[in-house]
Structure 1
Amino acid sequence: MADPAALELVAVTKRYGTTTAVDAIDLKIAAGTYCCLLGPSGCGKTSTLRMIAGHESVSDGDIVLGPTNVTDLPPARRGTAMMFQSYALFPHLTVIDNVAFALRMRGVDKAVRRARAAELLRLVHMDPYAERLPAQLSGGQQQRVALARALITEPQILLLDEPLSALDPFLRVRMRAELKRLQRELGITFIHVTHGQEEAMALADLVVVMNGGRIEQQGSPRAVFNAPASEFVARFMGGHNIVATATGPIAVRADHTRLTRGDGPRPAFVTTCEYQGAHVHVTVKTADGVEWLALVPERSFDADPLEPGAVVSVAWAEADAHPLI
């Protein structure tokens, strides 16, 4: 594999006519980082990924990969490779020939390119399927082949556009572990677009939360979850309640939210109780119509089960309240 490279976006903007999809974002990603671009549909994350890949032109700003400004370079000369959401495997080619295709286009000798493709198939645990066609593979197996095909060009940065979205939940978790393993073994930079908060927190060294074409917050998964910068980030990451105070909004994690029976300083009534294994998700509504979520440990809930309609008081420790901007 190629040596990892740092990536820097400098005031990068993407406009489609009068619509600004990405609005002058600045971002530095250290070499060898697993970065997730996270946000709702239409936030600009996929446009950003495609500009890094060279599949979309940059309206303004610069993209710098290592020491090189790659803003105007074609995709093949950037040192990046892209794994598409659809996998886009050639249906008439075997697995090994799909993986070797980019080297074939470069005129690499057949024996050499097939040997390299076989190495990568071993890396993604797909070597027993080398002579099968894509239609004979499961979704997860097709994803592994697409990953090997992207890696055969020895990119400095691998770009992944929602690579797990087509998989069932169980396989998604397994493939998350595989992606993280590969990134650590290869040591190259991964930039992964997702709208899944859990996925980003499980995979990323660096989470970049986007909203309306701008970067709302960036940092480690723990930092972003525990100290959301804004109400948008707190709500999008989930697991937080927003409290309006005289000095401004604060966020309180749902697992730090306590419910006690009976009236209290902040009375509410239970609306739903959903068993989720280790925790029971209890939703309550206050008299002014504000909904709260409390994650109650299973053992605590079983000791004093709540039912819809029960009157409770909502509380939290002052140290667990995080101010928002």
Structure 2
Amino acid sequence: MRSGYDLELVHLTKRYGSTVAVRDINHVFAPGSYVCLLGPSGCGKSSTLRMIAGHEEVSEGSIVLDGQDVSSLPPAQRGTAMMFQNYALFPHLSVRDNVAFSLRMKGVDKPTRHKRADELLALVDMTHLADRLPDQLSGGQQQRVALARALVTEPKVLLLDEPLSALDPFLRVRMRTELKKLQRELGITFIHVTHGQDEALALADEIVVMNDAVIEQAGPAREVWAAPRTEFVARFIGGHNVIDLPEGKSTIRSDAIRLSDDGLAATITAVEYQGASVAISTRTDSGDDVLALLPEEDFFKSPKSPGDAVRLSWDDGRLHRLEV
């Protein structure tokens, strides 16, 4: 049994009139991987996802799934399934019938489609609520039903459009753990659109960072975090400072910066206690805003306040030179 299918975007472009939403992107998604399309609003990530799903027409280029160009196929014939941000459950149908709906539309008989729906409901731990209506469910339960409904057709690729955005913070963290577990159990490719850096880092085998209609950087989550290639990626992924040095623009992680007797001169602009750490915002004499994240016990050995003059230092081996 195959663990996944190749999905490739080839010179993919999407135009809305004179506006280019996605500009000539090329990317191969590894079979059986969890991929997050990450970027700010308007960067092109949702348009990319909707083109893969077949809910947006491709302006130029192609989408190749398992060796077949599916760009012109309707959504139901592509081998993909999409879970929408608002879940879009049918309010008058039971949980079981919501999950079985696409099989019903394909003419599958009732016993067979209900058997398959019950298998998926068991997978997402919703068997005990199979006879309820959607408005009798919590947000997290509705999400599980939407997941089961998307998976009932056995897609080669599951597409998720900001699936956690409607949930409260506690449930969001719990559900991302369940999503990752489910993806590993199924062994199919998940492509998940998000603008949350923490969400992408927690979930993704690969992060694809998009900005201004193009892919800025793609790679394993740890690589994108530790070695951003551009200033945009460094700033957007978080946890990094971009500093102008004589040798060019470089990044240094906030947790790699120390307060010391010598180093880069700066003035503290804010101090924020965060529990295990203390975030110290500073501004250098050259005007760069630099954040230092100090262990709580280190900070309180010698507390600082806004307005204090300090020196910032780091190990040169932790400095990362930006390519662009």
TM range (shorter): over 0.9
The answer on whether the counterparts of 2:201 and 2:221 sit within 8 Å (CA) in structure 1 is yes
How far residue 2 of structure 1 moved from its aligned partner, in angstroms, is: 8.2
The answer on whether the counterparts of 2:13 and 2:25 sit within 8 Å (CA) in structure 1 is yes
In structure 1, distance between residues paired with 2:293 and 2:100:
49
Q: Deviations over 1:149-197 (max 9, x none)?
A: 0000100000000000111111110000000000000000000000001
Q: Tell me the equivalent position of 1:280.
A: 278
Q: Deviations over 1:205-236 (max 9, x none)?
A: 11000011000000001100100000000000
Q: SS of the residue aligned with 1:202?
A: helix
* 2:161 equivalent to 1:177: no
* 2:321 equivalent to 1:318: no
The answer on whether the counterparts of 2:12 and 2:60 sit within 8 Å (CA) in structure 1 is yes
Q: Tell me the equivalent position of 2:287.
A: 289
Q: Tell me the equivalent position of 2:214.
A: 214
How far residue 98 of structure 1 moved from its aligned partner, in angstroms, is: 0.6
User: One-letter code of the match for 2:300?
Assistant: D
How far residue 246 of structure 1 moved from its aligned partner, in angstroms, is: 2.8
Q: Tell me the equivalent position of 1:6.
A: 6
In structure 1, distance between residues paired with 2:247 and 2:153:
54
* 2:302 equivalent to 1:301: no
* 2:139 equivalent to 1:167: no
User: One-letter code of the match for 2:46?
Assistant: T
Q: Tell me the equivalent position of 1:73.
A: 73
Q: Deviations over 1:82-120 (max 9, x none)?
A: 000000001111111111111111111111111111111
Stretch of structure 1 that moved more, 303-312 or 195-204:
303-312
In structure 1, distance between residues paired with 2:321 and 2:306:
31
In structure 2, distance between residues paired with 1:100 and 1:321:
53
The answer on whether the counterparts of 1:9 and 1:64 sit within 8 Å (CA) in structure 2 is yes
In structure 1, distance between residues paired with 2:120 and 2:304:
53
How far residue 287 of structure 1 moved from its aligned partner, in angstroms, is: 2.7
How far residue 43 of structure 1 moved from its aligned partner, in angstroms, is: 0.4
How far residue 284 of structure 1 moved from its aligned partner, in angstroms, is: 1.1
Q: Tell me the equivalent position of 1:237.
A: 237
Q: SS of the residue aligned with 2:27?
A: strand
In structure 1, distance between residues paired with 2:272 and 2:263:
25
How far residue 270 of structure 1 moved from its aligned partner, in angstroms, is: 1.6
Stretch of structure 1 that moved more, 164-173 or 303-312:
303-312
Written as runs of structure 1 = structure 2, the 5 A alignment for 1:249-288 is 249-260=249-260, 264-288=262-286
Q: SS of the residue aligned with 2:104?
A: helix
Written as runs of structure 1 = structure 2, the 5 A alignment for 1:29-68 is 29-68=29-68
How far residue 32 of structure 1 moved from its aligned partner, in angstroms, is: 0.2
User: One-letter code of the match for 1:70?
Assistant: V
Q: SS of the residue aligned with 2:248?
A: coil
Q: Percent identity?
A: 63
Q: Deviations over 1:33-58 (max 9, x none)?
A: 11100000000000000000011011
The answer on whether the counterparts of 2:243 and 2:288 sit within 8 Å (CA) in structure 1 is no
How far residue 3 of structure 1 moved from its aligned partner, in angstroms, is: 5.7
How far residue 268 of structure 1 moved from its aligned partner, in angstroms, is: 1.6
Q: Tell me the equivalent position of 2:124.
A: 124
How far residue 14 of structure 1 moved from its aligned partner, in angstroms, is: 0.4
In structure 2, distance between residues paired with 1:118 and 1:3:
23
The answer on whether the counterparts of 1:3 and 1:156 sit within 8 Å (CA) in structure 2 is no
Q: SS of the residue aligned with 2:242?
A: strand
What is the root-mean-square deviation of aligned Cα atoms in Å? 1.3
In structure 2, distance between residues paired with 1:274 and 1:141:
36
Residue ranges of structure 2 left out of the alignment (5+ in a row):
none
Written as runs of structure 1 = structure 2, the 5 A alignment for 1:176-215 is 176-215=176-215
* 2:78 equivalent to 1:96: no
The answer on whether the counterparts of 1:2 and 1:154 sit within 8 Å (CA) in structure 2 is no
Q: SS of the residue aligned with 1:167?
A: coil
* Equivalent residue pairs, number: 323
How far residue 258 of structure 1 moved from its aligned partner, in angstroms, is: 1.1
TM-score (norm: length of structure 1): 0.97
How far residue 143 of structure 1 moved from its aligned partner, in angstroms, is: 0.5
How far residue 12 of structure 1 moved from its aligned partner, in angstroms, is: 0.3
Q: Deviations over 1:240-272 (max 9, x none)?
A: 111112332000000101123x6x442222222
Stretch of structure 1 that moved more, 275-284 or 139-148:
275-284
The answer on whether the counterparts of 1:95 and 1:131 sit within 8 Å (CA) in structure 2 is yes
Q: SS of the residue aligned with 2:131?
A: coil
TM-score (norm: length of structure 2): 0.97
